[in-house]
Amino acid sequence: MMRRLNIYCIGCSHKTADSAVRDILYIDDEQLRLSMPRVQAQFQISEMMVLSTCNRFEIYLAGPPERIDEQMLFDLLLALHTGNQALARFNQNELEKLFYVYSERAAVTHVMNVASGIDSLVIGETQITGQFKDAIELARELETVGPILSRFAQEALALTKSVRTKTAIGQRSVSVGSAAAELVNLVFGDISKHDVAIVGAGEMARLAAQHILKQKPRQLFIANRTVQKAVELCRELGAGKACSLDEMPRLLVDADVVIAATSAVGFLIQRNGVEHALAARRGSPLCLVDIAMPRDIDPAVEDFENVYHFDIDDLQQVVDRNFEGRRQALEEASGLVTAAAEQFDTWMMHQHVRPLLADFDRYIADLMSQELQKTLRKGSFSNLTAEQLKALDTMLRSVQRKIVADAGEQIRNPPDGYFKDQLAEALGALFLSEGKAQKEKNDASA
Amino acid sequence: MYDSFWLHLSLVLTAVATLFYLPALSKEGIRSVALRLGQGCLVVATLALTYAAFGRYDSQVWTDAAPLLLSVFVLWIALFATFVLKTKMIGLFASPLVTLLLFIHAFFFPATQTYLTIDDPTAQYLAGFHVLFAVIGEALFAAAAGLAALYLWQHRALRRKQISKAIYQGLPLDKLESWLIKSLWCGFAFLTIGLVLGAIYTQAYLQVRPEGLTAKIAWALATWGWYLGTLNARYNLNRLPSAIARMALWGFVLLAVSMFGLGFFRISGVGPA
C-alpha cells in the first residue's frame, strides 16, 4: 500500500528574524546544489525544495507523517547548513523562536501565501514569485522533488497568477522606484515618446531605471559623476546611454523626465539651470523627480509653471496610498488562497485514496475468489455449467466493483462528522494488509 | 467666368492655407508636407485674388475693391518674403489675415451681382452645410473647454503635489494636452469651413445682407480669431499648455456668454438684431 505523504514547511522570514539572522541562513544555488541531494538521501525524504532569499529561508518537504516530526525538521535544517558556524551557535530554544513549522493544510496555505506575495514584506511584490519559480526549477534539476511538490508548486504558481489578475494586490506600486514611475505617468502617459535621464548610478538609480525601462522610454540616459559607473549600470540594465554630469544642461533640454538619485551633497540641478533649459524646450513640460537623500534638485524649480517636481515625500504619498489599496485586496487574495489550498488538499487525498482503493479492490477480489473456490468445491456446486460459472463470476465482480466504488465515494465525500483521513485510515486498518496484519497480530497476542 | 468664382476660390485657398500653416500634426515629415501645401495654396490664392480684385477694380466699385486690393498686396508681399527672402513662415500671418479680410469683404460688402439663382438646390446645400460645420466646430470647442478644465485640474493638483487629488489616473497631462489641441484644431477647421460656406452663400445669393446678421457675423469672426490665436499661441509662440488650456476654457466661456447675449438681444429687440 502507498503511504500517505504530507506537506511540511520549516522556515524563518522577515516576520520572525532580523536581517542579520536571515543573512546567516541564506544559501546560494551553488551551495544548494551540493547540500540538497546529500540531505535528502541522509534523511530519506521523499521530496524537498528550498526557498532561500534575502527575506526568508524555507524548506518544503513531502513525506510520510510517521517519519517526519518537528525535531527531524530542525535536524534537517541544520544538516543543510553543515559548516555554518554562525548558525551552530544558536541553541534549540533560540532556533524554535526563530523558525516556524507548518504541516499539512497549514503548510500548503503558508507556501501559497509566500508564492503569491501575500506574506512578503512588501505585500503583493512579484519578486518572490520569480524566486519561488527558481527554487522549484533547481529542485527539479537536482531531482529532489517528485509528483507531489511539483504539483504543489504548479498550483501555487497558478494561484499567484490568479491573485494578480483577480485582485488589486499587485496593481499599485509600493516601492520608491515604481512610485517614481507612477508619478511620471501622471505627466507623461506614454514614456515611449519621451527621453528619460537618470542622474546617479547607485542602488536607487538602478531601481528607478529598472521601473522606467519597463515602460520602454525613447531613450534612457544615465548621468553620473564617474562615467564608468554609469557605463556599468547601462551594461547591467542592457540599455541606456552613459554620460557625465557635465552634460546635465543638455540633458535638461533633451530629456522630458529627469530622475535624480545620487548621494551628492548640494543641488545638482539648480533653478537657473532649469530656467535656461526651459527657454530651449519651447514650452514642453519637464518632469523632475528627486529620490535622493539629501536632495539633488533645488525645490525652487517649482517656480516654473511648466515644471512638475516631485521629491521623496511626494513619492511616499503614492506608496502609502498604494499600500492601503493592497491591504484592502488582501482579504480577497486570502479567499483565493483558501480555495486553492482546499483544491490541493483534495488532490492530495485522491493521490492517497487511489492506491488505497486499488489495494482494497485487490483485497475484495482475492476474498471473493477464495470464497468462490471454497463454494465450488462443495458437492452441490461441482457440476455447474461454464455458463453458470461465468454468470456467478460476473455477479461477484459486480459486487466487488460496487463495494470499492461505494468506499471510494464515502472517503471522497465523507458523511457529516467524519473526515476523509479518518475513513481512509480506517479502511486501511480494517482490510488492507498492514492494518489487517497488525489486527491479526493484536488478536493473537490477546 | 464671373470674378466671384476667383474670389471664392481665393477665400477657400487662403482658409486652407491657414489650416496648413498650423503645425497641428506632430510628425516632422507631415508638418513639412503641410507647410508646402500651405505655400502652394497661397500661390494659387494670390493669382486668383489678383484676377478677382482687378475685375472689381474695373467695375469701379471702390469700396468693394479696397479690401480685395489690400489682400492682394498682403499676399504678394507674403509670396515675395517666402520665395525670395526665404521667410517661409510669413504665410502663417499672411494667410489668416487675408482670410479674415476676405470674410469681412464677403459678409459686409454684399455682392453687386449674384451668379446663381435662389432656386438652385446648391443654395440650400450651402446654407445647410454652413450651419452644420459651424455647429460641429462649436461643439468641438465645447469639448476642448471640458478637456481644458480637466487639464487645469490635473495640472494644479500635480503642481501643488496633491497626488490624491490627481484623480484621473488614466488621463496623464500629455494625453489631455494632445486631445485638447486636436479638438481645438478640428473645431477651428470646421468653423473655418462653415464660415467659408457662409461667405460664399452670402456673396452668391444675398444681394442685401439682413441687418440682424451683423452681430452674429462679428461674433463668428471673433470666435474664429480667438481660436486661431489660441492655436498659434501653442504652435508658433510656444506658449505653455496650461496657458492654452486657460485660453480654451475662458475663451469658450466668454464666447458662450456673448452668444447667449446675442440671443437675448435678438429676442428682446434691445440690440442691433
pLDDT above 70: percentage of residues in chain A: 95
The residue type found at B130 is H
Q: Which residues of B touch A168 (CB under 8 A)?
A: none
Residue B115 has pLDDT above 80, yes or no: no
pLDDT band of residue B170 (cuts 50, 70, 90) is low
Residues A48, A69: Cα–Cα separation, whole Å: 15
Residue A443 has pLDDT above 60, yes or no: no
**pLDDT score of B27:** 58
> For residues A380, A383, A385 and A386, what is the CA-based torsion angle, rounded to 10 degrees?
100
**pLDDT score of A153:** 93
Query: Residue B174: which of A188, A306, A317 has the nearest Cβ?
Result: A188
pLDDT band of residue A119 (cuts 50, 70, 90) is confident
Q: Hey, are the CB atoms on B163 and A305 less than 8 Å from each other?
A: no
Neighbours of A443 (CB within 10 A): 8
pLDDT band of residue A442 (cuts 50, 70, 90) is low
Of residues A9, A12, A54, A243, which has the active-site annotation? A54
- Measured CA to CA in angstroms, residue A30 lies from A128, A218, B116, B250, B273 at distances of 19, 39, 93, 68, 91
pLDDT above 70: percentage of residues in chain B: 78
Residue A299 has pLDDT above 80, yes or no: yes
**pLDDT score of B207:** 56
Residues B116, B257: Cα–Cα separation, whole Å: 37
Residue A403 has pLDDT above 80, yes or no: yes
pLDDT band of residue B112 (cuts 50, 70, 90) is low
Q: Hey, are the CB atoms on B174 and A318 less than 8 Å from each other?
A: no
pLDDT band of residue A2 (cuts 50, 70, 90) is very low
Residue A381 has pLDDT above 60, yes or no: yes
Mutate to test the interface with B, among A182, A183, A186 (most CBs of B within 10 A): A186
A211: cell is 521601473
* Catalytic (active site) residue A9: no
**pLDDT score of A385:** 84
Q: Hey, are the CB atoms on B240 and A310 less than 8 Å from each other?
A: no
pLDDT band of residue B257 (cuts 50, 70, 90) is confident
The answer to whether the beta carbons of residues A285 and A257 sit under 8 Å apart is no
**pLDDT score of B169:** 60
**pLDDT score of A1:** 43
pLDDT band of residue B1 (cuts 50, 70, 90) is very low
**pLDDT score of B265:** 59
The whole-angstrom distance between B262's CA and the closest CA on chain A is 36
**pLDDT score of A107:** 93
pLDDT above 90: percentage of residues in chain A: 34
Least confident of A121-125, A212-216, B25-29, B204-208: B25-29
Residues B220, B255: Cα–Cα separation, whole Å: 9
DSSP code for A269? B
Q: Hey, are the CB atoms on A306 and B164 less than 8 Å from each other?
A: no
Q: Hey, are the CB atoms on A285 and B173 less than 8 Å from each other?
A: yes
DSSP code for A214? T
ipTM given for this complex: 0.75
- Give the residue, B245 or A179, on which the prediction is more confident: B245
The whole-angstrom distance between A277's CA and the closest CA on chain B is 14
pLDDT band of residue B271 (cuts 50, 70, 90) is very low
What's the rounded mean pLDDT across residues B242-264? Answer: 83
**pLDDT score of B272:** 43
Residue A440 has pLDDT above 60, yes or no: no
Residues A116, A123: Cα–Cα separation, whole Å: 9
**pLDDT score of B5:** 81
Q: Hey, are the CB atoms on B239 and A302 less than 8 Å from each other?
A: no
**pLDDT score of B273:** 38
Q: What average pLDDT is seen over chain A? A: 86
Residue A302 has pLDDT above 60, yes or no: yes
pLDDT in tens, A250-281: 999 999 999 998 888 788 999 999 999 998 88
**pLDDT score of A441:** 54
Q: Hey, are the CB atoms on A186 and B154 less than 8 Å from each other?
A: yes
pLDDT in tens, A52-96: 987 889 999 998 887 788 888 999 999 999 888 888 888 888 888
DSSP code for A90? S
DSSP 3-state of B171: coil
Q: Which helix (H) or strand (E) holds B209?
A: none
Mutate to test the interface with B, among A173, A183, A187, A316 (most CBs of B within 10 A): A187
**pLDDT score of A4:** 66
Question: Highest mean pLDDT: which of A69-78, B55-64, B103-112?
Answer: A69-78
CA A12, A14, A18 angle in degrees (round to 5)? 90
Residue B113 has pLDDT above 80, yes or no: no
Q: Which residues of B touch A187 (CB under 8 A)?
A: 158, 172-174
Residues B64, A359: Cα–Cα separation, whole Å: 112
> Could you tell me which of A197, A183, A173 has the C-alpha nearest to residue A251?
A197
Q: What average pLDDT is seen over chain B? A: 81
B219: cell is 461674433
Using N-to-C axis directions, what is the helix angle for A312-377 and A176-187, rounded to 10°? 120
Mutate to test the interface with A, among B174, B177, B179, B240 (most CBs of A within 10 A): B174
Residue B269 has pLDDT above 80, yes or no: no
Residue A436 has pLDDT above 80, yes or no: no
Residue A352 has pLDDT above 50, yes or no: yes
What's the rounded mean pLDDT across residues A92-108? Answer: 90
What's the rounded mean pLDDT across residues A284-289? Answer: 91
For residue A294, whether the previous peptide bond is cis, meaning omega lies within 30 degrees of 0, is yes
The whole-angstrom distance between B2's CA and the closest CA on chain A is 47
